[in-house]
Every structure is written in C-alpha cells, then in structure tokens.
Amino acid sequence: MSPRPVNAVARIALTPGEPAGIGPDLCVMLAQQAHPAELVALCDPSLLQERAAALRLPLTLEPLATDERIAPPAPQAAGTLRIDPVARLRAPAVPGRLDTGNAGYVLETLAATCRGCQQGRYDAVVTAPVHKGVINDAGLAFTGHTELFAEHCGGKPVMLLAAPGLKVALATTHLALRDVPAALNRQLIGEVLDTLLAELPRRFGISKPRIAVCGLNPHAGEGGHLGDEEIEIIAPVLTRFRAAGADVRGPLPADTAFLPPVLADTDVVLAMYHDQGLPVLKHMGFGEAVNVTLGLPIIRTSVDHGTALDLAGTGRADAGSLGAALAMAMDMAARSSAAGG
C-alpha cells in the first residue's frame, strides 16, 4: 500500500497490549468519547468485545479497509472504534490471569503496528502496557516497547516521559542497576543529546532546548571521590556540546536537579538510568504522564504505568494516561503534517 496523502484528520493506531491487563479496558473506555482523530485498534476483535461486555460499556467495532480504496480518516464517534484484526489470540484472555500462550500474539500486534506506520497507513501509534515478564517466560526475547520499535523501525531511540511541568529523558532504559555504569560511554551520551536536540523542536516545538544532565553517582561523583563517570564520560561530552552552542548543563547531582529553580530554566532533564528520573516524574504527574519514544521515524506515545492485572475487567482502571498519550500523539501528528511529514 502506498503512503496516503497528508490529512487534516490523523489516523492513530492503538495497541491494547497485554490481553489480561488493563490495556483492553482503557481502549474501551477511551472509545466512549468522541475524538478529532480516527482511532484504529490493532488486535483480536474478540478481546475488545469481551472486555466491553465485562465493563458493560457500549462498543461498535468498525472494520478498517485493507486495500487502496481505504477511505480518508474521519473523526471518531463516541462508542466506536476502527479495528484492524492483525492477529488472533492463542488462548482465552481472562482479566488478571497471564497466559504465556498469548505472548507471541502481543508481539505480532506490535510488529504489525510498526509496519503500518512505516507504510504511511497510520500517522502515529499509541500503546497500552505490555507485561515483559510473561513474554520472557514464553521464551521470547523482549526488553520493552522502546527497544522493539527501534528493532523494527530503525533509528536510535530515546525514552522520554512528559508530565505537566516536567520532561525526563533517559540515557539508559531497561537495564539492571548493576549494568548501568558499563553501559554509559561518551558515544551513548552524545547520541542521546543529538536526538534530544533534533527531536524536541520537531516533536514538541521547543526551538532551543535547555537540557539539564544528571550525573551518575551521588553528588555527581563528589569530584571523583564517589565515582569518576562524571569526569571521564559525561563532562567531556557536555563541554563539546556547549562549545557547539547547545544549552546543556551538568553533570548535576540528581538529588538537586529536580528542584524548582533548576526546572524553571529547563525543558528536559536527562537522567542516566530509569529509576533516577522517573520516580520524580511519576510523583509529580502519575496518571497524566506520557511515555514518548524519540529518535524513531514514526510517532509513538504510551502510558506511564503497567498492566495493573488486579484492576483488569473491574471498571476501576483510570484511562487518564492513555488519553494524555492520545492527545500528545495527535498534537505531534498535526505538527508533523504542518511541517510536511
């Protein structure tokens, strides 16, 4: 299928993620509202039909055409979702009960979404949470959405979470803490900064990004007494970028990098590892934060939480983060369309 022309209305792919988790609930809940974009769920239709019935919410699934006669995107009416049945469940999807039999199905939906975005079929993808453990238990190698999308789409991804008043990017993503120091090097830090400086204007409209960079060690190494990664790796890269005119500050002690006076003059904080920056962001805006993968040739946003198996099928899940992820994807798609792609 050839790429379709740029449209005023975006077509957004939506992946429900782990079938036993709250992802299907959130998709059904999101469909209860009208949206100025067309939402297309890539999944087994029975998953959403069964979950809608469990939640006692109305849902009409409208098939998406798969040939050249596909209609232009249209705003989504309340109570409806477009559906692209790219894969079928291998086992019944029981809310709250993981089944390794469905691990391959989950990965198939993600791979199909990547293909659809690359072909121009979708303007962006919004992903609900997957369960890494059950996928690995099924014998399938999987680290996370960020890494899988990079494998399928190319690029050098940077994980960024955005909440009201704070954006946090990560130098490393899903690594055991003991593996982080060995993963950090000058090339990695430089590539992450290159991506941020290119993507923040493109995706968020931040013309001259101001980036605060955390050190790795307590007190940013205390002059080498608590570790030398700041001296040997991070500082030389920042010096090079500042010489080229970039507004990058640090390496800063992580325990003071998130103070209001620092954030008032900062667009993004670059943390060295997952739990250095994300606890602060989630404390400030859990349920409103959005996970964005920068550095890909496609637009991808996601929720800021996990599968919440205990809430699946109960009606008690909160669709706030998925709604925020959809709003951000639509905004990014509009900015991309205005820029000509």
274 among annotated binding-site residues: yes
What's the N-to-C CA distance of the chain in angstroms?
18
Distance CA 19, CA 5 (A): 33
146 annotated to a ligand binding site: yes
Q: Taking the CA atoms of the chain, what radius of gyration do you get in angstroms?
A: 20
Q: Which of 164, 141, 88, 110 is nearest to 298 (CA)?
A: 110
Is 282 labelled as part of a ligand binding site?
yes
Q: 145: which 2 tokens? A: 């959405």
The response to whether 291 counts as a known ligand-binding position is: yes
β-pairing, 268-271 vs 11-15, is unpaired
From residue 34, alpha-carbon distances to 80, 85, 279, 328, 339 in Å are 8, 22, 33, 16, 26
Spatial separation of the C-alpha atoms in residues 122 and 69, rounded to whole Å: 15
State how far the Cα of 97 lies from the Cα of 68, in Å rounded to an integer. Answer: 40
- What element of type H or E holds 293? strand 290-294
Backbone conformation region of residue 329, classed left if phi is above 0, alpha if psi is from -120 to 50, else beta:
alpha
Q: Which residues are annotated as a binding site?
A: 145-146, 174, 219, 274, 282, 291, 300
Q: Which residues are annotated as a binding site for a divalent metal cation?
A: 174, 219, 274
Q: Which residues are annotated as a binding site for substrate?
A: 145-146, 282, 291, 300
